[in-house]
């Protein structure tokens, strides 16, 4: 179905991640938060797949599920030809070096009692048999690669600014020569003038080391800059996936259209001309999604069928996938 | 838009310092601006640029010490807010000047119902009876577009979503028909589709109520959509003041133009590589003696290191604190 001319490094098929809700005196399972509810996509070798959506849509959970930081509810994940969807955590350990993660909050994701050197060295300690000297050299190389001054190796993370801390997190993710990195909102906590620095660094490293990224973000204009293809999530499902240019120029799904029109345009003459699609109401709870299409409660183009039948996610135009009844020729 | 209107708020030469163990941090340094009736002034800047501290200074909301307002004049309603008694200032705050903060979760009290929190300013400032305040609270919730307003008055903040909570905050700020509304990053914690709802609501309310608004944000996209005039802040200074179209089409300060280039857009041409402003925003310790942007500026000159640039007028309502615009410097260079 999703055959691509280039090789898919990561294939995700119908992955679900439901978190149980326990309540009552006996803490019985009374429901589930369907954070990720059946997503299917490929990440092609060397590309950056942007994953966008609003808070609570399940994009971070999806990123973590793909790396098997969770035990997923169901589905298949193939990483470089190896199926890891149901592999027990103990056996996943050998796979960890090739798949890494950069977290959103560089304040919280770095141990404040470890020096920068120790933080970047930790994956080497865990997964390699390098000598102390080799490790020191590798750490210094990594610090160079991400633009940190080697002289600061003995300092603690709190001595660094937000942008520099994110560089430390990136250096740690690179330590084991990974192929695939999930970047979970890597720039959301940074100032505008620093965001560009980190994004440029990620692009340079991708070229230098041949990395493949899953870039999770709510910042659509930044995703347009960095991503090769973009997937849009809403309430646990991918509603649309297409090449960057197609998605931003000719989106199909009504949610994608609304999301794009809501982004403030940094140009006053444009900003005041464009017709905004203002969505009414809020996102429903993922523990109790509406019947039929998840977006039916807010969709400006809702039809009767949308409240009954869930639309299938399929390739509507070449390389453009969407899940919407508007594009089902019946 | 409303040209020639008298300013409702006039801030001149505001200086705020924080006394810390590392020395005196000059958070706001000689900031001057005015706000005309009915207009929306956008204040842009990165974190630490002094935008919030400026607004908190003029409302007397900073803890003193460590903060100290060194100089300045804030004329509002015929009096200098920096000189009036704490009692009088309390009457102004929440009364004639309303404000909305960034995080709607922490700025509402979780143990009181939304209704009682909207009624509080009505009873305190307008001396309304409990019954009248309840009626007005309901109207206010309807005004900010909360469905089923009457029933929701008895709900607690946690029963509202983020966007709805921000609407409640706006309702509280509007309770006493303020002449000025100060909104400090009111949509930063919200998703884009919810932000779009709030921005639209704000435009509607301005048309309906005619108040003047100061809108603080780091998002130039938001500014482009709603502001009439803009003040760009950097390192505690207002580095550029301009009407919004002028600012985007003809930015004069190197920081403004660099900032405009670093942000990617969702339409238009996609740059192969993002323009970067190297380095970090400064922390101004001690009395400033140079341009705060000097170290990151690609056009820095010797004079930038020895003097704080004053504001040079470029055109109608447009000025910039940069020596590049100094007629004398231009003469030197020429």
**Do the beta carbons of residue A240 and residue A284 sit within 8 Å?**
no
- What is the pLDDT averaged over residues B258-262? 86
Domain assignment of residue A35, given as a range: 8-327
pLDDT for the residue B2? 46
In a domain, A1, yes or no: no
Q: Contact B224/A224, CB-based, under 8 Å?
A: no
pLDDT for the residue B208? 84
Is residue B130 predicted with pLDDT exceeding 90? no
> Is the ipTM, as predicted for this complex, more than 0.95?
no
In a domain, A264, yes or no: yes
In a domain, A89, yes or no: yes
Segment among A100-109, A196-205, A258-267, A269-278 with least mean pLDDT: A269-278
Q: Which residue in the set B47, B200, B264 is minimally distant from A278, CB to CB? A: B200
In a domain, A2, yes or no: no
Q: Contact A268/B218, CB-based, under 8 Å?
A: no
pLDDT for the residue B330? 63
Measure the CA–CA gap between A217 and A131, rounded to whole angstroms.
38
On average, the pLDDT of chain B sits at 85
CATH number, position A79: 3.40.50.300
Interface residue of A189, A196, A297 to substitute, partner B, most B CBs within 10 Å: A196
Coil, helix or strand at residue B231: strand
In a domain, A92, yes or no: yes
Is residue A3 predicted with pLDDT exceeding 70? no
Planar angle of CA B233, B234, B238, nearest 5 degrees: 40
**Do the beta carbons of residue A163 and residue A170 sit within 8 Å?**
no
Measure the CA–CA gap between A179 and A293, rounded to whole angstroms.
35
Interface residue of B193, B256, B272 to substitute, partner A, most A CBs within 10 Å: B193
% of chain B exceeding 70 in pLDDT: 96
Question: Chain A neighbours among B 277-306 (CB < 8 Å)?
Answer: 277-278, 280-281
pLDDT for the residue B333? 56
Per DSSP, the residues of A86-148 read S--HHHHGGGGGGEEEE-S-TTTSS-TTS-HHHHHHHHHHHH----HHHHHHHHHHHHHHTT-
Nearest residue of A to residue B44 by CA position? A192
Q: What is the pLDDT of residues B204-233, one digit of tens each?
A: 888 888 889 999 998 888 888 889 999 999
Number of domains, chain A: 1
pLDDT for the residue A205? 93
pLDDT for the residue A178? 94
- What is the pLDDT averaged over residues B14-20? 89
Is residue A200 predicted with pLDDT exceeding 70? yes
Q: Within its chain, how far is the Cα of B222 from the centroid?
A: 12
**Do the beta carbons of residue B90 and residue B120 sit within 8 Å?**
no
Residue A282 touches partner B, C-beta closer than 8 Å:
yes
Is residue A224 predicted with pLDDT exceeding 80? yes
- What is the pLDDT averaged over residues B294-301? 88
- What is the pLDDT averaged over residues B290-306? 88
pLDDT for the residue B82? 87
Is residue B329 predicted with pLDDT exceeding 80? no
Q: Identify which of A7-21, B73-87, B160-174 has the greatest average pLDDT.
A: A7-21
Is residue A24 predicted with pLDDT exceeding 90? no
- What is the pLDDT averaged over residues A291-312? 92
Binning pLDDT at 50, 70 and 90, where does residue B4 land? Answer: low
Residue B258 touches partner A, C-beta closer than 8 Å:
yes
In a domain, A280, yes or no: yes
Q: Identify which of A64-73, A155-164, B176-185 has the greatest average pLDDT.
A: A64-73
pLDDT for the residue A32? 86
In a domain, A3, yes or no: no
On average, the pLDDT of chain A sits at 89
Q: Contact A54/B221, CB-based, under 8 Å?
A: no
Measure the CA–CA gap between B13 and B16, rounded to whole angstroms.
10
Measure the CA–CA gap between A276 and B193, rounded to whole angstroms.
10
Is residue A272 predicted with pLDDT exceeding 80? no
For strand B212-217 and strand A212-217, is the pairing parallel, antiparallel, or unpaired? unpaired
pLDDT for the residue B256? 92
CB atoms within 10 A of CB A316: 18
% of chain A exceeding 70 in pLDDT: 98
In a domain, A35, yes or no: yes
- What is the pLDDT averaged over residues A191-214? 90
**Which residue did the predictor score with more confidence, B297 or B279?**
B297
- What is the pLDDT averaged over residues A30-34? 86
Measure the CA–CA gap between A81 and A11, rounded to whole angstroms.
9
pLDDT for the residue B1? 45
Is residue B5 predicted with pLDDT exceeding 70? no
Collect all residues of chain A within an 8 Å Cβ-Cβ radius of residue B281. 191, 193
Q: Contact B193/A267, CB-based, under 8 Å?
A: no
Q: Distance of CA B285 to CAs B18, B32, B236, Å?
A: 9, 21, 11
Is residue A76 predicted with pLDDT exceeding 90? yes
Segment among A45-59, A162-176, A188-202 with least mean pLDDT: A188-202
């Amino acid at each position: 179905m999703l055959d691509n001319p280039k090789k898919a490094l990561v294939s995700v098929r119908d992955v679900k991640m439901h978190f149980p809700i326990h309540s009552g005196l006996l803490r019985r399972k009374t429901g589930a938060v369907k954070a990720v509810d059946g997503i299917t996509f490929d990440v092609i070798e060397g590309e950056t797949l942007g994953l966008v959506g609003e808070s609570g849509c399940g994009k971070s959970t999806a990123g973590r599920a793909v790396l098997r930081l969770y035990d997923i509810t169901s589905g298949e994940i193939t990483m470089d030809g190896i199926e890891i969807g149901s592999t027990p955590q103990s056996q996943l350990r050998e796979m960890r070096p090739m798949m890494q993660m950069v977290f959103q909050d560089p304040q919280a994701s770095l141990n404040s009692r470890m020096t920068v050197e120790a933080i970047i060295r930790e994956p080497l300690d865990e997964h390699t048999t390098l000598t102390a000297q080799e490790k020191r050299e590798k750490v210094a190389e990594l610090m160079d690669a991400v633009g940190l001054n080697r002289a600061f190796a003995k300092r603690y993370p709190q001595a660094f600014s937000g942008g520099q801390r994110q560089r430390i997190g990136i250096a740690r993710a690179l330590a084991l020569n990974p192929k695939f990195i999930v970047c979970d909102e890597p720039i959301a906590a940074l100032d505008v003038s620093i965001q560009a620095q980190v994004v440029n660094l990620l692009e340079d490293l991708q070229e230098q080391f041949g990395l493949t990224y899953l870039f999770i973000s709510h910042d659509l204009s930044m995703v347009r800059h960095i991503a090769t293809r973009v997937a849009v999530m809403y309430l646990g499902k991918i509603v649309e996936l297409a090449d960057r240019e197609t998605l931003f120029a000719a989106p199909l799904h009504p949610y994608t259209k609304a999301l794009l029109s809501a982004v403030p345009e940094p140009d006053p003459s444009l900003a005041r001309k464009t017709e905004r699609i203002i969505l009414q109401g809020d996102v429903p709870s993922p523990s109790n999604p509406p019947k039929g299409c998840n977006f039916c409660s807010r969709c400006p183009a809702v039809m009767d069928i949308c409240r009954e039948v869930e639309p299938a996610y399929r390739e509507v135009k070449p390389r453009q996938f969407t899940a919407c009844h508007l594009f089902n020729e019946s | 838009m409303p040209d020639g209107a008298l300013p409702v708020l006039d801030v001149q030469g505001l200086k705020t310092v924080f006394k810390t163990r590392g020395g005196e941090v000059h958070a706001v340094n000689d900031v001057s601006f005015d706000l005309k009736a009915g207009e929306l002034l956008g204040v842009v800047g990165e974190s630490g640029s002094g935008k919030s501290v400026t607004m908190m200074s003029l409302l007397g909301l900073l803890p003193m010490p460590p903060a100290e307002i060194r100089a300045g004049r804030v004329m509002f309603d015929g009096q200098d807010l920096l000189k009036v008694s704490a009692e009088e200032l309390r009457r102004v705050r929440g009364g004639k000047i309303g404000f909305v903060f960034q995080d709607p979760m922490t700025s509402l009290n979780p143990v009181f119902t939304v209704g009682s929190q909207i009624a509080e300013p009505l009873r305190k400032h307008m001396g309304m009876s409990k019954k009248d305040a309840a009626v007005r609270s309901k109207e206010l919730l309807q005004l900010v577009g909360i469905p089923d307003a009457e029933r929701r008055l008895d709900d607690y903040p946690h029963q509202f979503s983020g966007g709805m909570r921000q609407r409640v905050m706006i309702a509280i700020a509007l309770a006493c028909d303020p002449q000025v509304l100060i909104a400090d990053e009111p949509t930063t914690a919200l998703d884009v589709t919810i932000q779009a709802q709030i921005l639209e609501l704000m435009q509607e309310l301005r048309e309906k109520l005619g108040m003047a608004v100061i809108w603080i944000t780091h998002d130039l996209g938001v500014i482009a959509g709603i502001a009439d005039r803009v003040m760009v802040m950097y390192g505690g200074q207002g580095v550029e003041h301009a009407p919004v179209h002028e600012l985007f089409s003809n930015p004069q300060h190197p920081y403004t133009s660099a900032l405009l280039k670093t942000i990617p857009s969702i339409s238009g041409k996609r740059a192969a590589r993002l323009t970067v402003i190297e380095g970090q925003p400064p922390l101004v310790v001690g009395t400033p003696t140079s341009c705060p942007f000097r170290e990151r500026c690609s056009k820095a000159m010797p004079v930038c290191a020895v003097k704080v640039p004053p504001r040079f007028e470029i055109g109608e309502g447009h000025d910039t604190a940069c020596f590049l615009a100094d007629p004398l410097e231009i003469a030197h260079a020429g």
